[in-house]
Chains A and B, each alone.
Chain A
Amino acid sequence: MKNELGREIRETGGAETGPAGETLCAESLARTFADCEDFSLRRIRLGGASGSLEAALCFLDGMVSGSAVSESVLRPLTEKERFGGVTSEPEAADRLLAGLAWFYAARKRTSLGEVTEDLLCGSCAVVFRGAAVTFETKQPQSRGVEKAEMEKSVKGAKDAFTEVYRQNTALLRQRLRTPDLKLSEAVLGRRTRTRAAVAYIRGLTNSSVVEELKERLAEIDIDGALTTGSLEEYLLERHSPFPQLTVTERPDRFALELLEGRAGLLVDGLPFGFLMQGTLAQQLKVTEDRAGHPLAASALTLLRYAALFLSVLLPALYVVVTVFHQEMLPDKLLLSVIRSKQDVPFSTAAETLGMLLAFELLQEAGLRLPESVGETVSIIGALIVGQSAVEAKVISPIVVIVVAIAGITGYTTPNQDLAAAARLCRFALVLLGLGLGIYGLVFGLILLTYYLCTLESFGTPYLAPFCGGSAGEVLRALIRLPLKKLKERPKALHPEDVRNQK
């Protein structure tokens, strides 16, 4: 199957739409779309009323641009000087493809399935008996290119990917104006027929990663690819709470990562781009790191690492120290903690777990509700309920502080999937700490480290370069060196072209 520009589209998973073996004609098409109220079939006479040849103009109402169909397809078809002398259907089809209809993208189709597919994608079709010409008169359904919401930009580009696949490829192409940027397309989902493009830079991205990605896409055989999760879970060998694919909504970051040597994936209907070979170090970096001064960017990177550790460890450490190892706290701090805990009826374990749960609930409620209501919930939940609970001595202020610090530090993690994984670990470590004290905490950390060491994303260790990288690469992951000194791409990605500048 080829796209509107005649390029190959890889069919993945599922049968072609439309009944196999049925002859292509207006009637068979009408039968295919029987009971579809939005299906329109209009019979027209080529060359106007005096024309001898009849064709059917088919489209799905709402999917196509009415003006484009009228002006660029219908009008030329009914002009006598263009189609008046046409006597056979093959000649009419050839004339349409030769440009007598003005629309820029036209395809000749010979099977019912192909035409059905095109109609579902927003094309209109001029159907003859046994053949058809489709025009991509798609009605733009997009909200337009808007600012990135999840990955805020301070000194970088503001635009974000949208739900429109072609718009996303255009946003990428605007940044990488090189024919070496390849977009290898595939169709995903038996019923959704979602288009996806594997994006990579020829001569730079490791070709085995690209091939692996294409193969895994081809193996996906699902009903629909409508969410990010439905792809991630199928693309990865082991699905882990730790994101092995990096999801970004910023085209500039997507382009930058392609230049680093990664492969990307753009999917129709998803305002995100997926980046393969996701690593922890990559997920703790933001595009702004390159925009800022090296010292400031390095400090912020280190801060993010510290914040991640704090976010994961602080509640567990609090529990361990206050329940089992009180001697680890300095006198004055311990006295302060004891004072804050006086008269609170719940145990430290119940308090901490309860507060962690409450924090998650508040966060979830804030996310699911409309923005204005969400803010109100956060204010009521965090300030009013929290304050009242402390004043009523239902919970101790120190637990509120600990959970709030853990939560806030978690928000500094640029990757939301990583932040979610950190939250899970936080709970697990608290439970281990409650059960076994410092031993449980250390045991949990050992398990976590082991688990992270076993993760891979398309052959690249998740902990690269901390795991298997040289000292220089580790330093580079932690510290943003001046760009003039960043002459090589990350070795863990095995790029085909290692150097990025002289």
Chain B
Amino acid sequence: MRKLLIWLLPMALLLSGCAGKQHFGNHREIDQLVLVQTMGVDRTEDLFTVTISTAAEEGQVLLKTPAVTLSRALKEMQDYTEKKYIFYGHTRHLLLGPSVLAHDLARCLEFVEQDGELRMDTKLYALRDGPAEQAVALPDSGKVSVGETLDSLEKDVSLLSDSHVFTCGETAEALAQRGSVLISAVRLAEPENILDGGRTLLSAGYAVIAEGELAGWLDPDLARGANLLMGLADSDVIEAPDGQGGLFAAALTGSKAEYLPVFAEGELQSLTVRLELRCTLSELERPLALREESTVRALEKGIADVEAWRVSEVLRISRELGADFCGLEKLVRRAAPLRFDRMRVGWRERFNTLPIQVEIAVKLARGHERTIEPLPGRERAAR
């Protein structure tokens, strides 16, 4: 019996789809591959325009193909390179132009899902102020590819929490569940901002997708509010009035979002969003008497006010659009799963009219190097 099983295993080759020409067609010599790092997709009337970029080390290759479908565009791209095979399995970034976001986001994501080489963990970006092609063809010097620029950007956005880069898989899942989602937005930097004259991409908040279509944009300032709601804000610099006519800056070192739904008679009556922010004082416009509790409380209130405005604005936009793009449904369900599932009126219907209260608790600590005494030269002002 065991011997029979052993002989059956190779026979299984015929059943697994691994047999025949198709499988052996996967044989590719590695030095004949062109590794695509970044892919941009735009839509012009009836055509999709796919632009690809490879790594700078590889001697960057930039190719652009218009076609009726994405599949055809990718296949036709194969003709345009000296090497034998353009390999999409290592595509790390997918940039979508506004024209695609407007109507074809779901189609693009479905294509990524269906394609044998593209991966669902590809990072997804929305280009805010022009076709994706411009961003993919970004580097003029050839030293740094757009892929590397986006890699760097992904880390940079976490420093100021002004966006968050989601993967195609995460976006597709959110889109399927709630029809609305946020996509990290980028824009081409103004040339005057770059000292060496080169061009680069900057974070531009989020593209808001509602009902599968581009509904608007969240600026970086509001994107921070959205990140607080989604529990994704762990680093930021918050400038706020110190209550004595000046400004101060605090560094956000961590945050926590807690959702407290109130149910009554099978209905969701209200929702309290409790945000806890941990900050350290990083910069003062003028010296303050930091030993006094009232001063610290005033600073904490300043931070809370700034963040409360951001969060409220995000909630307002979300409700105006009727799109829960922050995924509050999932977070509220997590807080009270049984009662949530028994609600008579669904979340989508209730969301627009639900009273939402935002409570922000700020814990301001001084930096570990900072003494509570004013530094020499600033004592008088402090008194």
Contact with A along B2-40 (1 / 0, CB 8 A): 100010011001001010000100111111010101000
Given contacts A348-B30, A436-B18, A437-B23, contact A335 B57 (CB under 8 A): yes
Contact check: which of A342, A446, A447 meets B31 at CB < 8 Å? A342
Whether B55 pairs with A331 at a CB distance below 8 angstroms is yes
Shortest distance between the CB of A75 and any CB in chain B (Å): 70
* Residue pair A327, B119 in contact (C-beta under 8 Å): yes
Main secondary structure of the interface of B (DSSP, over half): loop
In the bound complex, CA of A341 to CA of B26 (Å): 19
Complex Cα gap A439–B33 (Å): 22
* Contact assessment for B16 and A439 in the assembled complex, using a CB-CB cutoff below 8 Å: yes
Q: Tell whether B339 is near chain A: CB-to-CB under 8 Å.
A: no
Minimum Cβ distance to chain A for residue B127 (Å): 22
Alpha-carbon distance between A436 and B14 when the two chains are bound, in angstroms:
12
Query: Chain B nearest CB: distance from A301 CB in Å?
Result: 31
List residues of chain A with CB within 8 A of the CB of B10: 443
Chain A CB within 8 A of B320 CB: no
* B6 with A450: CB separation less than 8 A: yes
Q: Mark A315-331, 1 if CB is under 8 A from B, else 0.
A: 00000001110110001
- A335-353 residues with Cβ-Cβ distance < 8 A to B are 335, 337-339, 341-342, 344, 347-348
CA distance A337 to B30 in the complex (A): 8
Are B28 and A323 neighbours in the complex by a CB distance under 8 Å?
Answer: yes
B89 touching A327, Cβ below 8 Å = yes
B64 at the interface (CB under 8 A from A): no
In the complex, how many angstroms separate the beta carbon of A411 from the nearest chain B beta carbon?
28
Q: How far apart are the CA atoms of A446 and B9 in the complex, in Å?
A: 9
A341 touching B18, Cβ below 8 Å: no
| A339 contacts across to B, CB distance below 8 A | 57-58
| Pairwise interchain contact A338-B89, C-beta atoms closer than 8 A | no
Prevailing SS type, chain A contact patch: helix
Q: How far is the CB of B138 from chain A (nearest CB, A)?
A: 18
Residue numbers in B under 8 Å from A324 (CB-CB): 26-28
CA distance A347 to B92 in the complex (A): 27
Closest residue of chain A to B54, judged by CB?
A: A335
Contact (Cβ within 8 A) A326 B55: no
Q: Mark B72-111, 1 if CB is under 8 A from A, else 0.
A: 0000000000000001011010000000000000000000
A365 contacts the other chain (CB 8 A): no
Across the interface, do A439 and B26 meet the contact criterion of CB distance under 8 Å? Answer: no
Question: Once the chains are docked, how many angstroms separate the CA of A203 from the CA of B302?
Answer: 86
- Does B117 count as interface, using CB distance less than 8 angstroms? yes
Contact A327 B90 (CB under 8 A): yes
The residue in chain A whose Cβ has the minimal distance to the Cβ of B147 is A331
A327-B119, A339-B57, A348-B29 are known contacts. Are A334 and B35 too (CB-CB below 8 A)? yes
Q: Could you tell me if B31 and A344 are in contact, using CB atoms closer than 8 angstroms?
A: yes
Contacts A437-B23, A447-B6 known; A338 to B18 CB distance under 8 Å? no
Specify which chain A residues have a CB less than 8 angstroms from the CB of B119 in the assembled complex: 327
B254-276 contact mask (Cβ, 8 Å, vs A): 1 or 0: 00000000000000000000000
A13-52: contact bitstring with B at CB < 8 Å (1 yes, 0 no)? 0000000000000000000000000000000000000000
